[in-house]
A = this chain, B = another copy of it.
């Protein structure tokens, strides 16, 4: 994409209102815009990052037999009365002109359970694993920290349905594996820790995936040896030992919850009388699990982990583009070389943001490139052309390399 075409611009200074790193950098870089407290728009660059994250999640969900659906945001009151959750105070509610009650979905157990029930009669129809990636809503009284605590959020939820607890347990471990892959692909493998959490009323434990950063809002207790943690809830209620090695040497860390997985067991299937005929001919209640990842929250966590004083440092797989091609000065020879590079890279299927703007100085362009945080910055200038080269800089590193123009494709092949 040509940067002159991008309708957003970077912003030098923000009002003091935004305190979190993710909000500051994402707004300044032109990735998101705040409409009101807890409600954000995703602008073209932010939309691209969101789609990259979405596609990673979709690929990993499909690998574990997830079938994608799109469920309504508007829910009927009747469904939520069945599970006694209509009074949940974080649920936004509304009435239509005729007085009919709706709620806005913040989770979809009340929708997906009766829906899957329509199609499942026998053990032969199980397991079923269904997921959705879509907008959800929560009546958050104190939205804060940019995309971390919001009212409207883009979320993946997977729901699984099983014959028995054994099959649920097996799938639960598969989802764990898929989640680790997702967070790895998002550049958060080192920072993201499986964390034991309370299972609520229906199961002893659930698991959170917590990304350690100094600005996280959660506190976890980490066993450095086992790379596993327990959350505050568990510490208070039960013990302060590592669930694996039983060590009491736990480190207190701040973290952001980027995912959670729950064994719902029969909580919802019972409420909707969702039973099936098992091999032995007997009617049994379906066992369920649910597995969430907030996409905006994940984007925020990536920025909280991957930034420096100059701006964002996008991990490769979630970056809006791989290359930020910057043309310095507008002399014919420079323009011609840069244009050719732009077209060659596009043809090769490499995502490139091409800064061909005429009204910006070299200094301004480089400062903006650091803020936007695309993995590789490639500069074409009079100086580099004199040596038939271009400058290449990895956003993660300080040093700048001079590379022969003809070697760029080879270079990119190696770094991809």
Contacts and interface: CB of A to CB of B under 8 A. Distances in A.
Interface of A: 5-9, 30, 33, 35-36, 39-44, 47, 50, 65, 67-76, 89, 92-94, 96-98, 102, 104, 111, 115-116, 118-120, 124-125, 128, 130, 134-135, 137, 139, 141, 151-152, 154, 359
Given A8-B119, A96-B92, A72 B35 contact: yes
A72 B65 CA distance: 31
A35 B111 contact: yes
Contact of A94 (B39, B89, B93, B115): B93
Given A76-B35, A98-B141, A116-B7, A69 B42 contact: yes
Given A7-B128, A35-B75, 18 more contacts: A5-B67, A6-B67, A7-B67, A7-B120, A7-B125, A7-B130, A35-B74, A40-B72, A41-B69, A44-B69, A47-B68, A72-B152, A73-B152, A74-B137, A93-B94, A96-B151, A97-B139, A134-B135
A69 B96 contact: no
A133 to B, nearest CB: 10
Contacts of A118: 33
A120 B104 CA distance: 34
Contacts of A359: 124
Contacts of A6: 67
A92 B89 contact: no
A124 B47 CA distance: 24
Contacts of A9: 119
A5 B69 CA distance: 14
B111 A41 contact: yes
Contacts of A104: 94
A412 to B, nearest CB: 23
Contacts of A5: 65, 67
A124 to B, nearest CB: 8
B73 A73 contact: yes
Given A7-B119, A7-B130, A115-B33, A70 B41 contact: yes
Given A35-B111, A130-B7, A94 B97 contact: no
A30 B69 CA distance: 11
A50 B98 CA distance: 30
A76 B41 CA distance: 13
A124 B74 CA distance: 42
Contacts of A134: 135
Contacts of A111: 35, 41
A39 B139 CA distance: 22
Contact of A151 (B33, B74, B154): B74
Given A119-B9, A128-B7, A44 B68 contact: yes
Given A7-B119, A115-B41, A154 B70 contact: yes
26 contacts: A7-B67, A7-B128, A30-B119, A33-B115, A33-B118, A35-B71, A35-B72, A35-B74, A35-B75, A41-B69, A41-B71, A41-B115, A42-B69, A42-B70, A42-B71, A43-B69, A44-B67, A44-B68, A47-B68, A70-B154, A73-B73, A73-B135, A73-B137, A96-B139, A96-B141, A97-B139
Nearest to A130: B7
Given A7-B116, A89-B97, A119-B8, A47 B69 contact: yes
B154 A97 contact: no
A98 B141 CA distance: 7
A42 B131 CA distance: 11
Nearest to A67: B44
Contact of A39 (B7, B33, B74, B130): B74
